[in-house]
Amino acid sequence: MSKTKGLVAAVLAYSAWGPLAPLGTLLLEDMGVFTLNTVRTAGSLVLFAIVIGPRVFVRSLRILGRDPKVWLLGTLGLGFTFGAYLGSLQYLEPTIAALLIYLSPLLVAWIARRNLGEKPPRLFLPTIVLTIGGGALAVLEPSRGIHLGDRALLGLALGLLGVLGWTFYTLYLKHLGPKYEDSELTLTAFLTSGAVFLVATLLVPSERFHIEADTWTWVRLAFYIVFPSFISFQLYSIAVRNAGAAFTATLLGIEIAATAVFSYFLVGERFGWEKTLGILLVLGAVTVFLIDDARKSPTLPAPSAPGQPETQGDQYE
């Protein structure tokens, strides 16, 4: 019963992350990248405060005051990741932007093994080849003769920078895990990344701190904060507690499927056979890799979707 509860929670969590990219694309029509990140982070912090209470907030602020290294989790981790990720949505289709994040679990596994003095996972190279090949097929769609312009290349570059930021966040969270509680690290990351976004919003000339929005934009923004940013995290935590981090990580492909569905209905993204096949190649390769690596490496951190804190300790249960 416990694992069934975890399975249901995992499916719902990854489904709730589905609107993250398409809704972000729509909201970026009414506000800048840093403004959207600032509002999203502030809204999430309010919801976290209601759920966990003010004491954890106070403890998190004290941690930031006495341990400067924790600032890196939010500044170079979440701050760098979401600045680049939302920036890529200005140039890439939502599903392609979300698909790039699938490189992060591979990098995490490779770096963690390297730090332990072990060989790369046995499926690492085949998975990299299939992921790059599938990604190229999805982006280029050869039968349509799509050529990447400067804007698309910029979007891909920003997406890859986001992958590096998320990889750093995952590994650094594992490093800090033994010293602090999950809720404390969650809040310190949100607080510091929110501060970075706010400063950037005020300093970058192209940002619009005011929100040029109608009623529907406010509705989208509220949904964006509540579901992909907050409820998904709560469901993910339930899934990991009841089904284990390894099993939960193997369901990561549900997020891409949900992203594709939401992107189709919200922003009219189209999926030809080459794009669909490329996405399936990436999903299949990474899912098989995660299942295999979970069996072989009981101490590597399990990846989660962007925007959601990793669990700490021994990840693969």
Confidence bin at 316 (pLDDT 50/70/90): very low
pLDDT tens, position by position, 262-287: 999 999 999 999 999 999 999 999 98
What pLDDT is stored for residue 314 in this prediction?
42
State mean pLDDT over 209-227.
Answer: 82
CA 142 to chain centre: 28
State mean pLDDT over 161-176.
Answer: 88
State mean pLDDT over 208-216.
Answer: 70
d(CA 26, CA 241): 34
**Cβ atoms 208, 32 nearer than 8 A:** yes
Token couple for 245:
């981090």
Token couple for 35:
């403004």
Average pLDDT, the chain: 85
What pLDDT is stored for residue 313 in this prediction?
42
* Phi, psi for residue 303 in degrees, rounded to 5: -75, 155
pLDDT tens, position by position, 102-146: 888 888 888 877 886 777 778 888 999 999 899 989 988 888 776
Q: Regarding predicted confidence, which is higher, 237 or 163?
A: 163
- Give the predicted TM-score (pTM) of the model: 0.85
What pLDDT is stored for residue 245 in this prediction?
67
What pLDDT is stored for residue 36 in this prediction?
92
pLDDT beyond 60 at 317: no
pLDDT beyond 80 at 240: no
**Cβ atoms 225, 40 nearer than 8 A:** yes
State mean pLDDT over 41-53.
Answer: 88
CB atoms closer than 10 angstroms to residue 81 = 25
